[in-house]
Chain A
Amino acid sequence: MTRGRRTALLLLRLAFAVILGWASIDKILHPWAFSQDIVNYRVVGDGLSAVAAIWLPYLELFTAICLLAGLWLDGAVLINAGLMWMFLILVLQAFFRRLDIHCGCFTVKGESVIGPLKIAENAALAAGSLALLLLEAGPKNRRVENGP
């Protein structure tokens, strides 16, 4: 892996760790409000939204910790990409179904509404997460032992 790729990988890891960690805090503090945000997307019902509201914020937090610390990095970048693409699809479907809802992306308290700007933000994050996944999965440094 070249130095440039290593730097890009590190920067992307840190950026997504901050984004996911920050996004998880308010959801962890207010799970009921977050479950309502999930219901508002009209993709899952109350039951699954309650389970998702229990699970997703901690998945974001644990993924952020792994990205930051470099633990289970292969799994963490995969989850990161999965989450980012899922958020993009959810936001897109809400936009095209003309749902007048708050995003619930970073806070649960009536944050930004879903519009072109939010879609662009989520598309950029999804693209970044894919780049991180490809960088991490790319060729690794191999130490070549010098011969006698």
Chain B
Amino acid sequence: MRRFGHAALLSLAALAAGWTVNQFHPEGIPGRMARALFMSGRPIRRVSPDSAMAVFQRGAAIFVDIRASREFRAGRIPGAENHAIQPFFRDFTDFKKSHPVDTAYIFYCFEPACREGRAMLVWMRRAGYRRAAWLYGGLSEWTQNRWPVETGEPVP
């Protein structure tokens, strides 16, 4: 019995340490985000690069690049909008006014994991955007496939 008691204590200590460190870790999963993901029930919608390309060719979704504007200007999926994470959360009311909830959106970063994109998707789904998804593989896989990339200032 003592063995199981020690194992349980070790597990609890690990959970407490992980929870605490992730609050302050710059790349961490904050507790409230983990809770929101846990409580939201439905999985975050993700699209593979191949599916995203098919959607891109059909023009069936708005691509949302969530990186800083400098990186956005250096290379993006053609036609993508730029909504960096901090202004996005700050000006979400404006975003909601100009973006209908029934439109499909595909969020992406450069790197495959894209923690900010997933955080934004949780937020979007809570606000009623049921067709928002996240591009798994990010722009890195998009460029590896030598698919079209647009640079410079976006055309209004």
At the interface, is chain A mostly helix, strand, loop or mixed? Answer: helix
Which listed residue, A33, A47, A62, A108, touches B10 by the CB 8 Å rule?
A62
Identify the closest chain A residue to B6 (Cβ).
A75
CA distance A59 to B8 in the complex (A): 11
B19 in contact with A75 (CB, 8 Å):
no
A32 to B29, CA, bound (A): 7
Report yes or no: A75 in contact with B113, Cβ–Cβ below 8 A.
Answer: no
Number of B residues, CB within 8 Å of A = 38
Determine if A48 and B38 form an interchain contact, defined as CB atoms under 8 angstroms apart.
yes
Query: Which of A23-31, A90-98, A122-130 sits within the interface?
Result: A23-31
- Among A49-57, A111-119, A139-147, the stretch that binds chain B is A49-57
Contact of B17 among A29, A62, A74, A82 (CB under 8 A): A62
Complex CA distance for A82 and B31, rounded to whole angstroms: 25
CA distance A105 to B13 in the complex (A): 22
B22 at the interface (CB under 8 A from A): yes
Is the CB of B43 closer than 8 A to any CB of chain A?
yes
The 23 listed contacts between A and B (C-beta, < 8 Å) are: A29-B27, A35-B29, A45-B43, A46-B40, A46-B44, A47-B40, A54-B22, A54-B29, A55-B11, A55-B14, A57-B18, A58-B18, A62-B10, A62-B14, A74-B2, A75-B4, A75-B8, A76-B6, A76-B7, A76-B10, A78-B6, A79-B7, A82-B7
